[in-house]
Every structure is written in structure tokens, then in C-alpha cells.
Chains A and B, each alone.
Chain A
Amino acid sequence: MSAPAAVPAIRLKGISKSFGAKKVLVGLDLEVRKGESLVLLGQSGIGKSVLLKHVIGLLKPDTGTVELYGRNLWAVPPRERDELRRKFGMSFQEGALFDSMSVGENIAFPLTRHTKKSKEEIADRVAECLDLVRLPGIEEKRPSELSGGMKRRVGFARAIALQPENLLFDEPTTGLDPVTTDVVVKVISEMRNRLKPAAITITHDLKVAFSIADRVGLLSEGRIYAEMTPKEFEQSKDPRVAAFVTGNSELAPPEAEPERRTERAGEAHV
């Protein structure tokens, strides 16, 4: 299904989400079109991951709608929801590899579940994906044998195995050394060039943000506080944006919140 150009691949309208008494997202709006790369910045625990989880339907908003290709994710039947999800490849913070499987089986997982490809075709595709993330030939390794950066890249490989039209990255470089970070950034740029996806990337790293973003968004107080081009972002005089660019905590309003809230699994509705 190819959506008309007018319909953005991702559109969030008025999303609000609370965990208990804690309001995380408050009437958030967001649109990302095909071929566009949005990087989301924001302090730790501000709800960036929560936002990303709404896009792929891991969390259901309290109010507001999530539309993928113009279809309301929570109004369509579950089967169609899964079809929409398949158009998105999501990579998780620590890779979230299935540790009961080898690297090869991890990447093959979506292929064996959702396609009728033969064993050979799947093996070929797995090798191709591993090449793309610059980790050729590690199919037989177990996730526990990999370093953090490798796990994440295998996570990318799994996310793109089905050739999704869009990509979501949750902190792809956090905690990696500069060299590995550079490799990951190159891999992401390469995937962008090849797949032309609508992409949302969450990061704390401005260098990463500026090198892969068409637009940069700053999440603050449960909304997209500012959204601009990397250049505008860098030169912005807005105190909050400037605080983020310069890393000066005195400029920032006090809104640091507990790192990574734990959401009730029941609310994931899966």
C-alpha cells in the first residue's frame, strides 16, 4: 500500500499519557513524512522513549490519536495494527535481542514469522542485513557474546530485515565510545540513504543529532517544545534550546525527572 504523499507516515495528534499521577506527555503533536529524519532531544526521563513507544503501539495514549499512513492505530483491528507495525523497524536501547536465539536466528525471526521465504533466501537476507551493519559473518554468535555496540547494530539488522519503510531508533549511541558511535551513525546514514524512511531517532548526543537529522525536535513538558533544522537549533536563542546546545544547566528550567520510568505492562495492551 502506498499512501498518497499528503498523508504523513507518522502523525501523532494531541497525545496525552500519564503513569499514575505523573503526566508524561501532554497534548503532544508530531508529524513525520516519508524520507524525513526527525531527531528528538530532551532531558533524561522526559518521555522520549514513551513517545517512541506510542508510535509503534507499545503504549496506548490516554487521549489523542496515533495515525500511521492516515490510519488510526488503535481504531483498526489487531491484524491491521500488526500490518502497520511491519512498516516500521524499531531498534531498542540495548538491542533487545532475544537471548534464547543466535544472532542469525534473531535477524531471521521476522522473516520466518511474516514471510514465506525459503531457508536459503532467509540466510541470504540475514547475511545482507549483517553486512549493512558492518558485522558480517557473526550469525552463529549468541547475543551474550556481543558487546553493547554490536548488540545495538544486530538490533538494527533485525529491525530492517523485513525492509520496513520507516525506522525508529531509541538512543542508538548512548553509552558507546566515540569510534563505535561513529560507526553507528554511519550505519544509520547508510540505512537512510538506502531505504529513504521516515525516521525518528532519540538521542542525547548533539553531534549524532546534527549529522542525521533533517529536523530536530526538543521535547519538554510533555510536548514538542521546539522543532527546527539542525542549523536553526544550533543557533537558537531560546533559553531551553540554548541550554541543551551548550549543556548549561543554569539556563534550563528545572524539570529533570527520574530516569526511565517503569510503565505498567498492562498498559502496553499487547
Chain B
Amino acid sequence: MNAVLELLGRGVLRVLEGVGRFFELLGMTLRGLVTPPWAPSTTARQVVRVGVDSVPVVLLTAFFTGGVLALQTFKGFQRFHAEGYIGSVVALSMLRELGPVLTGLMVTGRAGSAMAAELGSMRVTEQIDALVALATDPVHYLFVPRVLAAIIVLPMLVVLSDAIGIAGGYLVAVTYLGANPVVYVNNTFQYLDMDDLTSGLIKSAVFGFLLALVGCQCGYDTEGGAEGVGRSTTTAVVMGSLSILIADFFLTKVLF
């Protein structure tokens, strides 16, 4: 009995410790975001690495998602002769949900993991200690440019992803399902609101913040050499993706 309680207590403690650490680093990052000196050139470099380098994978994902959405909706809507609304469904789903979420997940896999790996190897080779010894706040120096870059760049990627997703849906609907191009395009934009776009963009900025923060945190707290770096990278992707999906639910509820 005692052993069970002990095990339980240890588990609870570990979870609480992790949560506490998350908020500790969150606080340090938020403070860092409003404290000079800002590093525009470092941030710009991160914008390239998080954003520009992610464009191909984000576009491919969006294109096929738009396409498959058109296919699936056709299958379903055909049953009650509502094929004309495929365009609206594709556009709405992309803008409100799939654009931000899938982009967030893809960038987590590409950039969040890379951040964890980079900071993790800096930790195990004492480079982070060296930063402190050189009187430099590592959270400010390492987290802030990455988090900032991700916040800036995710909404941009999402705009691209929305556009390509809609194009993918159009292509499948018009060439393969035989939809009328003019009617399809009309339908796509007829029921769209500005809100649909902005809510997706707000979400994506939050996703950017989360994936960069989680990626940096996992790397920063790496222990145990090369194996530890591998573990941190995995954790960064898992926790980053989870936090995006969970945040997505609550944000949608708020922004609905």
C-alpha cells in the first residue's frame, strides 16, 4: 500500500514539477519578449529557418488536404445532391481549421524539433553554460528570437496554405469531379467571412508561439548526452503537437 502511494506521489510530483517548469520558462520568455536588446538579425535568420524553409512541405500538405476534402465532401454531399457546396466546405475548413492546424503540426515536426535538437546539443556541450558565464541570459538570447520568428511566420504560412488548399480543392472538383469552374469559385467565396480568415490567423500565431516555446524548452532542459538530445527532439514534437491540438479546441471555442 505504502509503495503504491509513494509511486503515486512521485508521479504527481513529477507532473507538477514539469508544469511548474513550463510556466517558469514561459514567464522568462514573456519577460524576454519585452526586454531589449532585441536581435533583429537573429530573428530574421530564424524566420528563414522556421518559415521560408517550411514553405514546400506546408504547400504540399495544403494542396493534398484541399484535394482530399473535395473528394470526401463530394462523396458525402452527393447523397443529398448538395455537390454545389463543395467549394464552401473546402474553403471554410481550410481557413478555420485545417490550414492553421496542419501548418502548425508540420512546422512543429520541422522547426520545433530542430529547435529542440539545437538547444539540446548546446546544453550537452556546455554552450548554454558558456552563455551564462558570458553574462548572457540564455532564455532571452535563444528563446526570444525563435518564438518571435514563429509567431510572425506561422500566419504567413497559413495564408499560403489556405490559398493552396482552396486551389487543390478546385483542381480536384473541376478536373476530376466535373464541377463547373465558375459556380465552384462563386460558391467558394460566397459564404466566406473575414472572421473565418482572421480566426485562423490568430490561432496560427498562438500555435507558432507554442511550438517554438515547447521546442526551445525541451532542448533547454536536455540531460544525458546524445541520447538525451534524441529524447528531447521526440518530446518536442509530441508535446508541441499535443499543445497545438489542445489549444486549438479552446481557441476555437473562444473565437467561434
Which residue of chain A is the closest to B18 with respect to CB atoms? A266
Set of chain A residues within 8 Å of B21, measured between Cβ atoms:
266
Instruction: Please report the C-alpha to C-alpha distance between residue A159 and residue B118 in the assembled complex, in whole angstroms.
Output: 23
Instruction: Please report the C-alpha to C-alpha distance between residue A113 and residue B21 in the assembled complex, in whole angstroms.
Output: 28
Q: Are A264 and B135 in contact (CB-based, < 8 A)?
A: no
Which residue of chain A is the closest to B129 with respect to CB atoms? A58
- Contacts A96-B127, A99-B127 given; indicate if A262 touches B132 (C-beta within 8 A): no
Q: Are B133 and A266 in contact (CB-based, < 8 A)?
A: no
Among B169-220, those with CB < 8 Å from A are: 220
Contacting chain B: which of A79-87, A123-131, A178-186, A213-221?
A79-87
- Contacts A86-B135, A110-B135, A113-B136 given; indicate if A265 touches B123 (C-beta within 8 A): yes
Q: Is B19 an interface residue (CB 8 A)?
A: no
Q: Are B134 and A265 in contact (CB-based, < 8 A)?
A: no
Q: Is A93 an interface residue (CB 8 A)?
A: yes
- Contacts A264-B223, A265-B221 given; indicate if A270 touches B137 (C-beta within 8 A): yes
Q: Is A237 an interface residue (CB 8 A)?
A: no
Set of chain B residues within 8 Å of A270, measured between Cβ atoms:
128, 132, 137-139
Instruction: Please report the C-alpha to C-alpha distance between residue A92 and residue B221 in the assembled complex, in whole angstroms.
Output: 19
Set of chain B residues within 8 Å of A83, measured between Cβ atoms:
135
Q: Are B133 and A114 in contact (CB-based, < 8 A)?
A: no
Q: Are B223 and A113 in contact (CB-based, < 8 A)?
A: no
Q: Is A109 an interface residue (CB 8 A)?
A: yes
Given contacts A94-B126, A268-B129, 19 further A-B contacts (CB under 8 A): A53-B129, A56-B132, A57-B132, A58-B129, A78-B137, A85-B133, A90-B133, A92-B133, A96-B130, A99-B125, A100-B118, A114-B135, A159-B133, A262-B223, A262-B224, A265-B123, A266-B17, A270-B137, A270-B138
Query: 15 pairs across A/B with beta carbons < 8 Å?
Result: A57-B132, A58-B132, A82-B135, A85-B132, A92-B133, A93-B126, A94-B125, A97-B130, A109-B136, A113-B136, A155-B130, A158-B130, A262-B224, A270-B132, A270-B139
